[in-house]
Structure 1
Amino acid sequence: MELVAVDWFKDAKRMDHVARRKGSAVQVAAEKGMFTFLVNIQIPGPSHYSLVLYFVSNSLKKGSLLQRFADGDDDFRNSRLKLIPSVPKGSWIVRQSVGSTPCLLGKAVDCSYLRGPDYLEVDVDIGSSAVANGVLGLVFGVVTTLVVDMAFLIQANTYDELPEQLLGAARLSHIEPSAAVYPVLDNIS
């Protein structure tokens, strides 16, 4: 899958199901017959932030692990969606706190999955975990100085599912909280 867009939103409340916004990258890809996997990383606080990563593919190959993941239930998805984080640029304490150990997202934080005809959205609630919230508190204060890499994979649990399938990856460099925009909510389809 290919990263085609990134949105950086802020609002007074948590933003769920961003794929349904008219004119979103999901809808543009759907018009071209493409499938989108989007990760909505929800960051709590006085202002709620959402970092949304849009990954597209030509289609879902019937019987593939990606198709089974997209069409599976939440228990299946939670047992398979893996994040591999890395902080190549940042203070030692931030690099140690974030680490680079793969983790199953659905086991570490609450994830909500929203399946549309041409997309799968995962809303990742960072505030649902005291540990993740603690790391976020450390990171968010210095986010403008960091380079963060994130890779999303589907964990292989059997030999025939190997090698693990990369859903997508992104490098986030020196994020400016002040650059976040308010989403246009009246354009929801």
Structure 2
Amino acid sequence: MSSFAGQESAEAAAWPYYAGSILPHDETEPSTGTGSWWELEDGTFNLRSKTYLDNKVKEPSAPAGFATISVTVIDSVGMLTELGKRLIPLRDFLAKEEGEFIVINRAVPVGGGRVQNIIIVGKRVLCVGEDPVFDRTWDRYKKGDDEYRNLRMKYLPKLRVAPWLVTSAIDLLGGQRPVIMGKGYLKQNNYSGDNWVEFDIDIASSKIANSIAGTIMGYCSSLVINEAFVVEGKEEDELPERMLIQHEFRKVDTGTASRPLKEGDYVRAEEEEK
């Protein structure tokens, strides 16, 4: 579990349950059939060290800058985007809470034009000034345009518990390697608000990602998946890297965890123009 003293205060600011649904935060075995999530041990992944540009050495990751505070799955017709502004319950939460937040939405197609939006909300727990390298890298990311952000956000996955059939299929597709998602691999939408930064990942935009998601979704209730996101350090003054956010999904059944989008809870772009 993360060693940050600020972890407890981050957990206290939970995003309201959406239509009665939020993925449980369980330290041991999931307490419900929907599965659960939990913090990762620091050092689960290796990141670029201070000397990486010279010798390619990586080192165990330090505590993440943001702590996950909620994971919610919303079923909708088409992908939801710009949730910090358009998803009213989340928008209201972000407007009244102090601190800085990150919102990640992974939109997974499930057939018939429907999408499961797996929404992660995290709160910053690393105080500004404690790690100047992280501050600098994160500030550059926030100020960057779409092209900059797409070439910097890196995803790190690891199947900790999975049937051999699944790990073999995923490895064949390259699914356990770190990946810059927006580098011609997946469509990534980037947004920002007064106290939040968001990126939305369209799984349907990649045949390979679709295949990986299809394999995982078929076995998800038996899988334990570690995942993390990091802003890639490409310059000497952006190293060593520090994890942005990280967590573990435990035997998650997105079908039972998902709740349909409630009418009136989401403002679509065409409705804004009226």
Asked if these proteins are the same fold (TM beyond 0.5), I'd say: yes
| Residue in structure 2 matched with residue 180 of structure 1 by the alignment | 258
- Count of paired positions: 188
Partner of residue 124, structure 1: 201
Aligned to 1:23: 89
Contact kept? 1:35, 1:60, Cα under 8 Å: no
Contact residue 187 and residue 202 of structure 2 kept, 8 A: yes
Q: Is the 8 A contact 2:162 2:222 kept in 1?
A: yes
User: For 1:139 and 1:116, how far apart are their aligned partners in 2?
Assistant: 32
Which 5+ residue runs of structure 1 have no aligned equivalent? Answer: none
Which amino acid in 1 is paired with 2:99?
M
Quote the residue 1:56 is aligned against: 123
Residue 80 (str. 1) matches residue 152 (str. 2)? yes
Give the alignment's TM-score, normalised by structure 1. Answer: 0.90
Asked which structure has the greater CA Rg, the reply is 2
Offset at residue 149 of structure 1 (A): 1.1
Q: Quick check: 1:12 aligned with 2:12?
A: no
Residues in 2 aligned to 1:171 and 1:69: alpha-carbon distance in whole angstroms: 25
| Secondary structure of 1:52's aligned partner | strand
- The CA distance in 2 between the partners of 1:4 and 1:11, in whole Å, is 22
In 2, Cα distance between equivalents of 1:9 and 1:60: 33
In structure 1, C-alpha distance between the alignment counterparts of 2:165 and 2:156, rounded to whole Å: 18
- Separation in 2, partners of 1:48, 1:146: 21
Match of 1:104 in 2: 180
Query: Of 19, 41, 44, which aligns to 2:106?
Result: 41
Contact 2:84 2:94 in 1 (8 A): no
Contact 1:155 1:165 in 2 (8 A): no
CA contact (8 A) 1:83 1:151 kept: yes
Distance apart, 1:123 and its partner CA: 0.7
Residue 60 of structure 1, CA deviation: 6.7
> Is the Cα–Cα contact under 8 Å of residues 55 and 167 in structure 1 kept in the other structure?
no
Letter in 1 for 2:227: M
String of CA shifts for 1:129-172, please: whole Å, max 9, x gaps: 11111111111111111111110001000111111121101211
Matched residues in 1 for 2:139 and 2:92: separation? 19
1:68 is matched with: 140
Mapped contact 1:42–1:50 kept (Cα < 8 A) = yes
Per-residue CA shift, 1:50-74, capped at 9, x if unaligned? 1111111167779621121122111
Match of 1:164 in 2: 241
Alignment of 1:141-152 (within 5 A): 141-152=218-229
Q: How far has the Cα of 1:30 moved from its partner?
A: 4.3
Aligned residues: CA RMSD: 2.1
Going by fraction, where is strand more abundant, 1 or 2? 1
> Which AA in structure 2 matches 1:52?
I
Q: Secondary structure at the match of 1:44?
A: strand
1:148 alignment partner, SS class:
strand
**CA 1:51–1:179 in structure 2 vs 1: closer, same or farther (change >3 Å)?**
same
